[in-house]
């Protein structure tokens, strides 16, 4: 009997508990709960893991609380450049888009690449043309802008920081509970369906104040997203450059396959040892072919949640200690 399950994340980072108002925390918890419940229902109705992660990430993109789709961060040049990827553990097929600013839901474009293109990764204008040819909804780039993100960019510009420089001194004045100057807000989902198939999807606006043209780990299968029915499905959030160098998502699966590690051991090793050793931070959500779930992160917090079919929805933000 397969333990069908979905797990999601809404980014990891430096959490300032004191900045988290009760009202704000409720909004995050509710959003996470609703999105997990929606993925859980797709799985309970016999839907595929691929459909469950697509819809969960689409909903996360639509929610302005998270840095993907609407609510995406600004580049240094004041634009938006969104990245997304998706992978099917059953076939090892994947699709991805990078540096797009007109596709309302980058994860749907990534899914269309997976299903309808011989290619795997499209960038920029070509990605937008492909998405348009597939009938995807297009928006003006300022659709993604929110006043909160514009403020973040102003702060980052003033302090001459990029979000990668998250060890900087600057303290946010906003009430964003994850200090936006030290936060990774990528979103992602992993799932195991009733047929034993695994899938993963990840989507992001990238890092506030990143240089135009910079691409992180999110649209790179193996780095920010990976799924194989032989091992596990993984979706990452954190210092993209480090996740790319380590092929972090694939490394979790590889350690399970080649070294016989459990999902918990493999993901702990990557997140708590290998990423920090290269100066990176962040976390991931992962599920293996038996339905075990791991949600490790090395930052102060990570928006996260999961639910088994027939079980309760569990959401959390802070470190459990």
Sites of contact with ligand ASP (CB under 6 A): 11, 67, 184-186, 204, 206-207, 216-218, 224, 237-238, 240, 282
Q: Which is nearer to ligand ASP, 152 or 204 (CB)?
A: 204
Q: Count of CB atoms within 10 A of residue 84's CB?
A: 35
Q: Which is nearer to ligand ASP, 51 or 81 (CB)?
A: 81
Q: Which is nearer to ligand ASP, 101 or 218 (CB)?
A: 218
> Tokens 């998250």 map to which residue?
166
Structure-token pair, residue 24: 């704000």
Q: Which is nearer to ligand ASP, 42 or 65 (CB)?
A: 65
Active site amino acids: 186
Pairing of strands 232-238, 282-288: antiparallel
Q: Which is nearer to ligand ASP, 71 or 240 (CB)?
A: 240
Q: How far is the CB of 185 from ligand ASP (least distance, A)?
A: 5
Q: How far is the CB of 311 from ligand ASP (least distance, A)?
A: 27
Q: Which pairs from 247-253 meet CB under 8 Å and 24+ separation?
A: 247/222, 247/223, 248/217, 248/223, 248/224, 248/274, 248/275, 248/284, 249/200, 249/217, 249/221, 249/222, 249/223, 249/224, 249/225, 249/284, 250/222, 250/223, 250/226, 252/226, 252/284, 252/286, 253/226, 253/228
Helices (H), 48-203: 49-62, 106-116, 124-133, 147-158
For ligand ASP, the nearest residue by Cβ is 240
Q: How far is the CB of 53 from ligand ASP (least distance, A)?
A: 16
Query: Is the Cα dihedral 109, 317, 287, 270 positive or negative?
Result: positive
Q: 198 - beta bridge partners?
A: 192
Contact 54, 17 (CB under 8 A): no
Q: How far is the CB of 83 from ligand ASP (least distance, A)?
A: 6
């Amino acid at each position: 009997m397969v333990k069908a399950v979905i797990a999601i994340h809404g980014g990891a980072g430096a959490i300032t508990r004191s900045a988290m108002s009760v009202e704000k925390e409720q909004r995050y918890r509710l959003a996470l709960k609703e999105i997990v419940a929606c993925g859980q229902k797709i799985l309970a109705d016999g839907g595929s893991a691929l459909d469950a992660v697509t819809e969960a990430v689409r909903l996360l993109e639509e929610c302005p609380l998270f840095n993907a789709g609407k609510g995406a961060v600004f580049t240094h040049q004041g634009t938006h450049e969104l990245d997304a990827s998706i992978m099917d553990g059953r076939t090892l097929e994947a699709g991805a888009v990078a540096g797009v600013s007109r596709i309302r839901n980058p994860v749907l474009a990534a899914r269309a690449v997976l299903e309808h293109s011989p290619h795997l990764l499209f960038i920029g204008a070509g990605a937008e043309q492909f998405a348009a040819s597939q009938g995807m909804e297009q928006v003006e780039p300022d659709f993604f802008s929110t006043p909160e993100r514009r403020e973040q960019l102003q702060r980052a510009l003033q302090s001459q920081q990029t979000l990668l420089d998250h060890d900087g001194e600057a303290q946010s004045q906003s009430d964003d509970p994850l200090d936006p100057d030290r936060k990774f807000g990528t979103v992602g989902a992993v799932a195991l369906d009733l047929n034993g198939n695994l899938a993963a999807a990840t989507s992001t606006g990238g890092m506030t104040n990143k240089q135009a043209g910079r691409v992180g780990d999110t649209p790179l299968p193996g780095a920010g997203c990976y799924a194989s029915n032989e091992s596990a499905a993984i979706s990452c959030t954190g210092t993209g450059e480090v996740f790319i160098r380590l092929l972090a998502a694939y490394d979790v699966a590889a350690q399970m396959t080649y070294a016989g590690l459990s999902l918990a051991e493999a993901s702990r090793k990557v997140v708590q040892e290998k990423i920090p050793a290269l100066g990176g931070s962040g976390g991931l959500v992962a599920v293996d072919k038996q339905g075990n779930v791991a949600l490790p992160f090395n930052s102060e917090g990570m928006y996260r949640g999961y639910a088994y079919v027939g079980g309760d929805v569990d959401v959390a933000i802070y470190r459990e200690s």
